[in-house]
């Protein structure tokens, strides 16, 4: 089912359930406190035209839905945005702006995405985040994606990312034998050729990683592992089983 709204409208404390909605200019707002959400569940929202706009003056919850902004349309959020298994496509020369100062956030979970640009080189689509108390939280294989070098993502707020919200306990019962070697060298040209993980063959080799300051290995040094045995990031105040790294030192041949 397609619902087309070809006039500027304002809706309060509303819920969209399924279907496809094409809008010209929609403002959603709340009554009864900032925790009153506008919800989109299984809904495709289409916004187009140079003056097309979605303005969220309320918290919004988007589940199993897709928003598509084309032409030079815009999407502005002023409160909490929760995305779950959803996608926001900011295409062509469209813009998305999330701003706030009340501790609100944009939360991406369950493989949600904000895609800025479709990959077309002429696209100048952009996503900007501002507000000293505003947060971007990216969880559960979610992502923010740029289509090309002409698209822009700017963030003057806090950014938090984790591959899972799931806590963990225990140890890694089947450690992997794979090893990654990191070669450190004092050669200032090292690493510039993309050969960071290749062993230097001489002191003038550009392979390896340039060590710009003395490396100190201390028996009293402490580290905190935040990645658990399944490759996911732990929540706070949990114990995750990890095999400790093995350090070794070898001079350049």
pLDDT tens digits along 52-92: 999 999 999 999 999 999 999 999 998 889 999 999 999 99
Average pLDDT over residues 28-33: 82
> How far is Cα 94 from Cα 105, in angstroms, rounded to an integer?
21
Helix (H, G, I), strand (E, B) or coil at 253: coil
What's the confidence (pLDDT) of residue 194? 60
> How far is Cα 127 from Cα 116, in angstroms, rounded to an integer?
7
Cβ contact 60:78 at 8 Å: no
Average pLDDT over residues 115-122: 90
Predicted model pTM: 0.64
Q: How far apart are the first and last CA of the chain?
A: 70
CA angle 59, 65, 69 (to 5 degrees): 80
The CA-based dihedral angle spanning residues 137, 155, 133, 33, taken in that order and rounded to the nearest 10 degrees: -70
The answer to whether residue 202 scores a pLDDT higher than 60 is yes
């Amino acid at each position: 089912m397609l619902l087309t709204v070809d006039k500027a409208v304002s809706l309060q404390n509303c819920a969209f359930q399924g279907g496809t909605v094409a809008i010209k200019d929609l403002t959603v707002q709340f009554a009864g406190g900032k925790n009153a959400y506008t919800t989109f569940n299984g809904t495709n929202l289409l916004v187009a035209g140079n003056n097309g706009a979605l303005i969220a003056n309320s918290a919004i919850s988007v589940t199993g839905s897709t928003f598509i902004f084309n032409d030079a349309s815009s999407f502005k959020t002023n409160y909490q945005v929760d995305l779950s298994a959803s996608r926001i496509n900011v295409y062509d020369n469209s813009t998305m702006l999330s701003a706030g100062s009340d501790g609100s956030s944009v939360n991406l979970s369950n493989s949600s995405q904000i895609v800025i640009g479709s990959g077309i080189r002429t696209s100048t689509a952009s996503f900007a985040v501002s507000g000293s108390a505003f947060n971007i939280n990216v969880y559960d294989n979610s992502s923010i994606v740029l289509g090309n070098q002409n698209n822009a993502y700017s963030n003057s707020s806090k950014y938090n990312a984790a591959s899972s919200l799931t806590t963990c306990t225990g140890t890694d019962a089947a450690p992997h034998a794979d090893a990654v070697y990191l070669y450190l060298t004092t050669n200032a040209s090292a690493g510039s050729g993309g050969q960071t993980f290749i062993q230097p063959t001489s002191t003038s080799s550009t392979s390896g990683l340039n060590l710009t300051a003395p490396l100190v290995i201390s028996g009293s040094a402490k580290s905190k592992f935040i990645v658990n045995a399944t490759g996911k990031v732990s929540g706070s105040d949990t114990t995750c089983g990890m095999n400790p790294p093995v350090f070794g030192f070898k001079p350049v041949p």
